């Protein structure tokens, strides 16, 4: 995460690395949960942020 976020921030021209890191962590968490065979089939995401991530 320490190298990914600064690299993404520079590539995407995003000045707020803290906000970008939160977004990356949320993306990874939601992706992992939706692919998990125990949780994924039972999840229903609500809201634009969650829907975009999955």
pLDDT, tens digit, 9 for 90 and up, residues 3-41? 999 999 999 999 999 989 988 998 899 889 989 999 999
- Concatenate the DSSP letters of all residues of 1-54 into one string: -TTHHHHHHHHHT-S-HHHHHHHHHHHHHHHHHHH-TTTGGG----SHHHHHH-
Burial class of 29 by CB neighbour count within 10 A (0 to 12, 13 to 18, 19+): exposed
The whole-model pTM stands at 0.73
How far apart are alpha carbons 47 and 14 in whole angstroms? 23
């Amino acid at each position: 995460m320490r190298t990914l976020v600064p690299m993404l921030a520079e590539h995407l021209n995003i000045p707020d690395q803290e906000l970008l890191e939160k977004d990356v962590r949320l993306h990874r968490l939601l992706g992992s949960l939706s692919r998990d065979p125990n949780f994924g089939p039972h999840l229903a995401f609500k809201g634009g942020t969650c829907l975009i991530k999955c």
